[in-house]
Amino acid sequence: MPEIFIDGHRYEFEGEHKVLQFIQDLGKEVPFFCYHPSMTAPANCRQCMVKAGQYMKSRETGEYEVDENGDRVIRWFPKLQTSCNLMAADGMVILTQETDEQVKRAQKDNLELILINHPLDCPICDQAGECPLQIQTYKYGPEGSRFEVKKVHKPKRIQLGPRVVLDAERCINCTRCTRFTQEISKTHQLTITSRGDKNYPTTAPGREFDDPYSLNTVDICPVGALTSADFRFKARVWEMNQTPSIDITNGKGTNIDLWTRDNLILRVTPRFNADVNDHWMPDAGREAYKIFNENRISRPQQKLDGEKVLSSWNNAIATLSEQIEDTDNTKILVIASPHASVEENYALNKYTNLLGLNTPVFTPHIEEGTGDGFLLSDDVAPNTNGCRLLGFKELNKSGICKEIQKAELVLILNDNLVDRSVITADQLKNKFVAVFATNNSETSEVADLVIPITTAAEHAASYVNVDGRIQRTYRAKETKYTNRRIDLEMSEGRLDRYGTNFDNWVTEDNKIDCMPMWEIVNNLADATGIDINFRGGREIMDEIASSVSNFSGVSFAAMDEHAGIQLSIKKETSTSK
């Protein structure tokens, strides 16, 4: 097998590898700015310099040549090489900054040059704390600057588009953003303008950078040149905690991170998953952070004489179980939801099964024209395939309406059926409607009983995307009943870790008074004398895997290990576009 020697260690490799990527994959490091694994390598930042050479092999024997001391003979490349575009070759010798002074010096030299025209405004720059330039300058840069002449001035605070702001002075011309619009989103909206040290990225004059994937350029910008118009100046990154999750605004199941401070989700960024979304996500999904914070249902609500009033949990559970007991089983309609997780749907289903009710029904949420052949599908619900694989009855709009007509008691699991015009408020009149919901909506508005449940940011649960991949979320945000310090799976930011609930940066109101669906099911079962005792998403998934063949082999541990698991789905029912 071909071998390569990096800083004196021997590694075997197969296939084609760029040296920089190979080093990174080993968990080692060479500093860089312009390289991005999903785009072409222009080698323009010149930061990832290494010393490269080749062990000489005898033409006749194929053996390595040795010198008089018995050491292998190395033919060094005449110049230092950028490792980002250097292809690994058999017998190649690489020295990085770890072992070679010349390389260390070259990297330091380059950083000094990058910094001469870069403003020293880290204290007011959004990128600070997650800035490759800042981090790598600390690690590999010069201690001071010898630059005593005037910096180049360029446009600042330019609203490039609705979501992206440019500070051209911070730009180091890595061209990641322009390459993104050329190679990934293919809108070709950005170009570098001017020449030399006056270079900076821009749109065509008078045109907006309204690329539906524009915010990815903010993510990949290695400095603070491109920042998010929405997130700008909202939080320092070190104050937030970062939790892996899944985009619930579309069926594609884009892997994301939720960034939380004081139990508010402040931004959403894409999380790498080679099988789903690579490094990218649509701008649309980023706006979703608001649904975790705003317009939430906190505490159960009940309609009394047409007035919505807050209710206690005990009262809400008692009311609902009485309604169920008082209604003929055939007159009870349970509507499951493609907007709820597999575990939530399963829990509700198990309860209704044991009660002897009809199998839950659901209706997919398709918005024609949303799909773009990239990271958006027409199916805008995160778990349509989950409902199918659980064996729920899939109905179209008229099917649902027919079922509702027959019912006296309607239970709706988190699905804004009125808002999305599947049913009308009128159709629900004279029936007892109970919804389990995360946010206030026109649907919750008409309900007689509203039971607040956790969002994807508050529970660990799974969703099956349009391609049949099951992936799960983690708890990012505390509710009234959870606690980061006890729940070892929850991440902690600096503010969470240092301080107490009595500190003035802690806002108790940001914790919603809601419960995971399965806990509500536990309570309902208890009230109805049924034996159900779910402990959490992880255990529910184990139960599903052993009882529903479609999910066999699925577990949180397996999903964590493989970044999701591909399930087999019937392609014809898939709404992937």
Partner 1 sequence: MSTVDWKNYTPVLLPDIKDLHKIDVYTKNGGYKALKSVLTDKKKWEGPKAVIEEVKKANIRGRGGAGFNAGLKWSFMPPADGGPRYLACNGDESEPGTFKDRKIFEYNPHVFIEGALIAAYAMEITTIYVYIRGEYKTYIDMMEKAISDAYDKGYIGKNILGSTFSVDFYVHSGAGAYICGEETSMLESLEGKRGYPRVKPPFPAQKGLWGRPTTINNIETLSHVTGVINNGADWFSSIGAPTHPGPVLYGISGHVNNPGVYELPSGVPILDLIEVAGGMRNGKILKAIIPGGSSTPVLRADQLDGITMDSDSLRTVGSMLGTAGMVVMDEDTDMVDVLWRIAHFYHHESCGQCTPCREGTGWLEKILLKIKNGDGEVRDLDLLLDLTTQMEGRTICALADAAAWPVRFTINRFRDEFEARCKKKSHAVA
Partner 2 sequence: MAYEFTKEDLQEIETIKAKYPEVMPATLPALWVAQRRFGHVEPEVQRLVAETLGLPEAHVHGVANFYTQYYKEKKGKHVLDVCTCLSCQLCGGYDILHHLEEKLGIKAGETTEDGTFTLNQVECLGACGYAPMLQVTNDKYVNHLTKEKADELVEKLKNGDELEYEQIKMPQHKNI
With CA atoms as reference, report the closest residue to 152 among 183, 90, 194, 188: 194
User: Largest alpha-carbon pair distance within the chain?
Assistant: 100
The burial class, CB within 10 Å (0-12 / 13-18 / 19+), for 198 is: exposed
Encode 123-185 in three state secondary structure.
Answer: HHCCCCCCCHHHHHHHHHCCCCCCCCCCCCCCCCCEECCCCEEECHHHCCCCCHHHHHHHHHC
How many positions of this chain bind partner 2 (CB under 8 A)? 15
191 binds partner 2 (CB under 8 A): yes
| CA dihedral sign of residues 246, 521, 310, 484 | negative
Give whichever of 203 and 352 is closer to partner 2, judged by the CB atom. 203
Is residue 389 within 8 Å of 336, Cβ to Cβ? no
- Span interacting with partner 2, options 82-90, 144-152, 193-201, 487-495, rule CB under 8 A: 193-201
Interatomic CA distance for residues 84 and 90, integer angstroms:
17
207 touches which of partner 1, partner 2, none (CB within 5 to 8 A by kind)?
A: partner 2
- Whether the Cβ atoms of residue 460 and residue 474 lie closer than 8 Å to each other: yes
Query: 28, 20, 25: which is closest to 47 by C-alpha?
Result: 20
Contact partner, 206, from partner 1, partner 2, none, Cβ < 5-8 Å per class:
partner 2
Pick one of 152, 192, 530, 532: the residue that binds partner 2 (CB under 8 A).
Answer: 192
Query: Could you say which of 87, 204, 425, 557 contacts partner 2 (CB under 8 A)?
Result: 204
CB of 189 to partner 2, least distance (A): 6
Closest by Cα among 369, 185, 355, 195 to 277: 185
Under rule CB under 8 A, residue 153 binds partner 2: no
Choose from partner 1, partner 2, none: what does 190 bind? Cβ within 5-8 Å by kind: partner 2
Q: Which residues from 421-440 bind partner 1, rule CB under 8 A?
A: none
C-alpha separations of 101 from 50, 80, 139 in Å: 10, 12, 15
Nearest Cα neighbor of 338 from 404, 237, 412, 261 is 412
Looking at residues 349 to 408 of the shown chain, list those that interact with partner 1 (rule: CB under 8 A): none
Residue (192 or 395) nearer to partner 1, CB: 192
Interface residue with partner 2, options 47, 203, 214, 216 (CB under 8 A): 203
Find which of partner 1, partner 2, none residue 287 binds, CB within 5 to 8 Å per kind.
none
116 binds, among partner 1, partner 2, none (CB under 5 to 8 A by kind): partner 1
CB burial readout 156-189, b (16+ within 10 A) else e: eebebbebbbbbbbbbbbbbbbbbbbbebbeeeb
526 class by beta-carbon count within 10 Å (0-12 exposed, 13-18 middle, 19+ buried):
middle
- If you compute the radius of gyration of the chain from its CA atoms, what whole number of angstroms results? 28
Residue 46 binding partner per list partner 2, partner 1, none, with a CB distance cut-off of 5 to 8 Å that depends on partner kind: partner 1
Q: Kindly state whether residue 194 participates in binding partner 1, applying the rule CB under 8 A.
A: yes
Mapped onto helix, strand or coil, the DSSP state of residue 470 is strand
- Cβ-based neighbours of 549, under 8 Å, separated by 6 or more: none
Distance CA 96, CA 346 (A): 53
Rule CB under 8 A: is residue 195 a binding residue for partner 1?
yes
Nearer to partner 2, 128 or 192 (CB): 192
Nearer to partner 1, 117 or 424 (CB): 117
The answer to whether 190 contacts partner 2 (rule: CB under 8 A) is yes
Backbone phi, psi, residue 197, to 5°: -75, 5
* Closer residue to partner 1 in complex, CB, 106/524: 106
CB of 167: closest distance to partner 1 in angstroms? 17
List 24, 38, 54, 117, residue binding partner 1 (CB under 8 A): 117
Please tell me whether residue 154 binds partner 1 under the rule CB under 8 A.
no
Q: In the range 332-351, which residues lie near partner 1 by CB under 8 A?
A: none
Q: Which stretch binds partner 2 (CB under 8 A): 204-212, 384-392, 516-524, 565-573?
A: 204-212
Q: Find all residues with CB under 8 Å of 563, minimum gap 6, and list them.
A: 255, 273, 274, 275, 276, 471
495 binds partner 1 (CB under 8 A): no
| Per-residue DSSP letter, 508 | G
Structure tokens at 155: 């446009």
Size of the site for partner 1 (CB under 8 A): 35
Q: Is 202 in the site for partner 2 (CB under 8 A)?
A: yes
Task: Name which position in 149, 356, 505, 553 contacts partner 1 (CB under 8 A).
Answer: 149
Q: Return the residues of window 199-218 that contact partner 1 according to CB under 8 A.
A: 199
Q: Find how far residue 571's CA is from the centre of its chain.
A: 25
Q: How many CB atoms lie within 10 A of CB 412?
A: 25
Q: Report the site for partner 1 in 48-77 (rule: CB under 8 A).
A: 49
Residue 320 binding partner per list partner 1, partner 2, none, with a CB distance cut-off of 5 to 8 Å that depends on partner kind: none
Contact 359, 393 (CB under 8 A): yes
42 lines the binding site for partner 1 (CB under 8 A): yes
Other C-beta atoms within 10 Å of 391: how many?
13
Q: For residues 533-562, which are near partner 1 according to CB under 8 A?
A: none
> Tokens 């059926």 appear where?
417
For partner 2, which residue of 58, 145, 159, 194 counts as binding (CB under 8 A)? 194
- For residue 42, the partner it binds in partner 1, partner 2, none, with Cβ less than 5 to 8 A by kind, is partner 1
530 binds partner 1 (CB under 8 A): no
Q: Between 150 and 429, whose beta carbon lies closer to partner 1? A: 150
Query: Given the complex with partner 1, which of 85 and 370 has the nearer CB atom?
Result: 85
CB nearer to partner 1: give 112 or 278: 112
535-543 — which CB contacts under 8 Å span 24+ positions?
536/460, 537/341, 537/343, 537/459, 537/460, 537/461, 537/462, 537/472, 538/460, 540/343, 540/346, 540/347, 541/342, 541/343, 541/462, 541/472, 543/346
Residue 217 binds partner 2, judged by CB under 8 A? no
- Interaction of residue 100 with partner 1, rule CB under 8 A: no
207 binds partner 2 (CB under 8 A): yes
Binding-site ranges for partner 1 (CB under 8 A): 41-47, 49, 78-80, 85, 106, 109-110, 112-114, 116-117, 146-147, 149-150, 152, 172-173, 191-192, 194-199
Binding-site ranges for partner 2 (CB under 8 A): 181, 188-195, 202-207
